[in-house]
Amino acid sequence: MQAFFSEYGSQLMGNLFEHIIISSMALLLGTIIAIPLGVLLTRTTKIVGTIISITSALQTIPALALLTLMIPFLGVGRAPAIVALFIYSLLPILRNTYIGMQNVDDNYLDVAKGMGMTNFQSIIRVELPIAVPTIMAGVRLAATYVIAWATLASYIGAGGLGVLIFSGLDNYQPELIIGGTIPAILLAIVVDYLLEKLENFLTPISLRGESEQ
């Protein structure tokens, strides 16, 4: 263990930092796009099936194939990796946002209308806070996908922990495979834990007990 860190410690930290940058940018883009789109779909239900079908179809494309498809448009490096992983993050966040918003009790909506809230105010102050547990479940799932698939980003020169994993596979060095795999797993666990804490913070106090059941 000590010998591994002596030889590969600096490379491991560099690859871990790259992995975090790629994953966080992709997840942030997915969240920024998918949550407002999911909210919009609750107001324009005629296109729900089409949008969900498109994002579902994109999800079925093999990760390596999608990364490769980005190269003619964005070249190699982080940009195509971030875009490809962003596409993968869309479905769970979009679907859960739509479901969470749709499942808001009509009584809450009636109260919001009775208080004179506009449609926008109802979304921000009532519907989104109630839908937070469902939305965050989608974000947490997307984060797991993105962190796992980001290991393939090394194939297109984006760096990340995949550099160690595939270098170990190519050169028959198990210590490199383990050295890249374990940090990726730990990163996914830590991010899921942090997102769970964020979910608890954003969930209205009156609903926290329900979301934990």
The answer to the question of residue 150 being in a domain is yes
- Other residues' Cβ atoms within 10 Å of the Cβ of residue 163: 23
- Residue 129 has a CB neighbour count (10 Å cut-off) of 17
Query: Pick the residue with more confidence: 2 or 185?
Result: 185
Judge whether 213 lies within some domain. no
Q: What is the pLDDT of residue 6?
A: 85
What pLDDT digit, counting tens, does each position of 107-157 carry? 989 999 999 999 999 999 999 999 999 999 999 999 999 999 999 999 899
How many angstroms separate the CA atoms of 28 and 22, rounded?
10
**What's the CATH code of the domain at 74?**
1.10.3720.10
Is residue 20 in some structural domain?
A: yes
**Residue 123 DSSP code:** I
Mean pLDDT of 27-44: 96
Residue 148, Cβ density class (10 Å: 0-12 exposed, 13-18 middle, ≥19 buried): middle
Asked, for residue 40, whether it belongs to a domain, the answer is: yes
Q: Which domain holds residue 177?
A: 6-203
d(CA 156, CA 141): 24
Mean pLDDT for the stretch of residues 17-22: 96
As for how many domains the chain has, the answer is 1
The DSSP symbol for 105 reads -
Residue 83 lies in a domain: yes
Judge whether 103 lies within some domain: yes
Mean of the per-residue pLDDT values of the chain: 92
> What pLDDT is recorded for position 208?
65
Report the distance separating Cα 118 and Cα 184, nearest Å: 44
Please report whether residue 212 resides in a domain: no
